[in-house]
Each structure stands twice: as C-alpha cells, then as structure tokens.
Structure 1
Amino acid sequence: MGHAMKAQDALRATAATSKMVVTKYCEDLSDQELLTRPAAGCNHLAWQLGHLISSEHQLLESVCPGAAPELPDGFAERHSKEATASDDASQFCGTAEYLELLSRVQDATVAALDKLSDADLDQPGPEHMRPMFSTVGDIFVLIATHPMMHAGQFVPVRRALGKPIVI
C-alpha cells in the first residue's frame, strides 16, 4: 500500500495540474499568437506567462531564499504591471522559451517543497503577504494555483485563433 498523502504531495499534484493545463493551452501557439489579448483591457498571453514565471520566482524566493533559478536579465521588468500595455514583440519571449522557463521555475519549486517538513509549511509567510497567505504552506498553495487563475484567459484566445480544444 502507498503512503498517506501529505500536504507536500497535494501541493506537488496541484502544481503539476496547473503546469499541464498552461502547457497544453500554449504549446501549439506561435510566438506571434502569444501577443493576442483575450479581450479589451486584458493582458496578452506572453505577458501573462512572464507574469506567472516571475511571480513564482519571487514567491519561491520569499519563502526559500536561493531556491529559484535565475531569470534572464530584465525579465521581471518586461512582465511587470508597468509593461502590460506593451505589444512590442521584441520585449517578450517566444512560446518555447516561456514554457522552458516555466518548467525550470516549477521544477525548482517542487525541489524546494520536497525539502520542507510539515513544521516548515506551518511557519509564518512573508510579512507583506500574511493578510491573505499567512504561512509558508499558504504561499505554496498560491504558487500551485496561480497558473489556474490565468488559464481561463487562454481559452478565448484559442477559440478566436481557431485552435483545437486540448482539455
């Protein structure tokens, strides 16, 4: 018989599901198609992917300093709130690079999670996050679910581009 599921197992499975959904929604999109906005006032998919990567990087660093892989120079700035209006393709990455960076950051998150005990997950989270995410474990829940907060925006883009249903 297998072992009883622990919090780390549930977080790992949730993160893997989020990664699978985002990857399926993006892997057949061209670099140019990533610059499509799901609706007026929404961020294009390239920005959203970069936001997910830089957010996970920053959140992981906030609870496990030194655990996140280095991102390309200027990556976080090119995917900041100040950059949401930009449609300049030269400021964004291509599909393959985003998916590779996403995978690298998510692998680092899982590696960091695997080193944490239940007691570690119960430790207080970063002070500025505590009103909503009070513990380290809560930060890992946010990391694991954040891609799903954005995934629904990928569907209207896929429909508008005539892409097949993948999930």
Structure 2
Amino acid sequence: MNARQALKESMDTPTMIAKAYLGDLDEADLLVRPVEGANHIAWQLGHLISSEHSLIEMVCPGTMPALPDGFADKYTKETATSDDPGAFHTKAEYFAAMDEQRAGTLAALESLSDDDLDGPVPEAIKQIAANVGGVFSMQPTHWTMHSGQWAVVRRKLGRPPLF
C-alpha cells in the first residue's frame, strides 16, 4: 500500500460513520445542538463540505467540483448561530454535496504521486498542514471529530448508539 492508498482508506471510515449517524435523522434533527453554544449538525455539515472543497482546491487548484451557488456563504462564523431551517440545506443536499466533494478529493489524490504529497502548501494553511499530504490526511480526521458531536446529538434525541 502506498501513501495515496492509505489516505483513501482513511477517508472511507469517516464517510461510513457520517452516513450512519445521520441516516435516521430528519431535517429538524439536523438543527439540534449538542450543547448550548455548539454548532448544530446542519452548520457542521456545510462547514465540513466547504472546508474540504476549499482546502483541496488550495493544494490542487482546479480539481474540485463546484459547490452549489452560495453554499459556502451559508457556513461562516456569522451564520453558525442561526437556527432558521430555511437558512440551511436539506439532508439530501448535504449528502449529494458530500459525495460530490469527496469524489473530487479522491480524484485529486489519485492524480498525485507519493512525492507530490510532500509538496508545499500555501502560507495561509501552514499552521494546519505541513505539506500536501497533510491537507489530505486532515479530511478524515476533521469529519471524525465533528461526527463525535453527532453521536451526542443522537443520544440527546433518544437514538441508540451505533458504534
């Protein structure tokens, strides 16, 4: 197994976890916050999808599918406090965007050599990733970190633990 294959494998588990945790939640459930002051699932999903798009575009320009018009603008620090259902997307839209962006991430990864993964990153993201490979490796950890909050929301809603 090479580094690209290992990175791809590392992205499969968080995708499975995300879809399992969110599978039986409805639109209203996506607006539940794990605790007061924390971000609800809808905002977190948009943030994750927008982040993945933006970060991969920074290290592999022109490789990511376009986000839906205005998508990223709905998931800023300023919108994180909104509980307006009309301000966010539907679960189906999140799943479609998540799948499309992840396919773009995997295609970008596949286009690189193992040596390319050692390449530099833009100055703006050096504090979160030392090289191109680091940007790819943070995608699954970012999704897993947020999905831990979804497990709490599930319990808050009376749903059983899944894992």
Give TM-score scaled by structure 1 length: 0.94
Q: Partner residue of 1:88?
A: 84
After TM superposition, give the deviation of residue 132 of structure 1 in Å: 3.3
Is the counterpart of residue 7 in structure 1 residue 3 in structure 2?
A: yes
- Where 2:21 maps in the other structure, the secondary structure is helix
* 2:126 paired residue among 130, 137, 145: 130
Counterpart for residue 99 of structure 2: 103
The aligned runs of 1:8-157 (5 Å cut-off) are: 8-157=4-153
Could you tell me how far 1:136 is from its partner in structure 2? Answer: 0.4
Partners of 1:73 and 1:131 in 2: CA distance: 29
CA distance in 2: counterparts of 1:151 and 1:130, whole angstroms: 25
Q: Secondary structure at the match of 1:96?
A: helix
- The one-letter code matched in structure 2 to 1:74 is G
**Structure 1 residue 67: Cα displacement:** 1.2
Helix, strand or coil at the partner of 1:152: helix
Distance 1:6 1:103 in 2: 24
Q: Does the 8 Å CA contact 1:27/1:95 hold for their aligned counterparts? A: no
The amino acid of 1:85's aligned partner reads: T
Task: Tell me the alpha carbon deviations over residues 77-100 of structure 1, each in whole angstroms, 9 at most, x when there is no partner.
Answer: 111111001011001111111111
Deviation at 1:154, TM superposition (A): 0.3
State the 1:144 CA deviation: 2.5
CA distance in 1, matches of 2:128, 2:18: 24
Q: Runs (4+) of structure 1 moved beyond 2 Å?
A: 164-167
Residues 12, 110 of structure 1: 8 Å contact kept: yes
Encode CA deviations 1:94-132: one digit per residue, 9 max, x unaligned: 111111111110111011101100111010012111133
Residue 164 of structure 1 deviates from its aligned partner by 2.7
Instruction: Find the aligned partners of 1:68 and 1:47 in 2 and give their Cα distance.
Output: 21
**SS where residue 115 of structure 2 aligns?**
helix
Q: Given that residues 22 and 151 in structure 1 are in contact (C-alpha distance below 8 angstroms), is that contact kept between their aligned partners in structure 2?
A: yes
Alignment RMSD, CA only?
A: 1.0
1:121 aligned partner, one-letter code: L
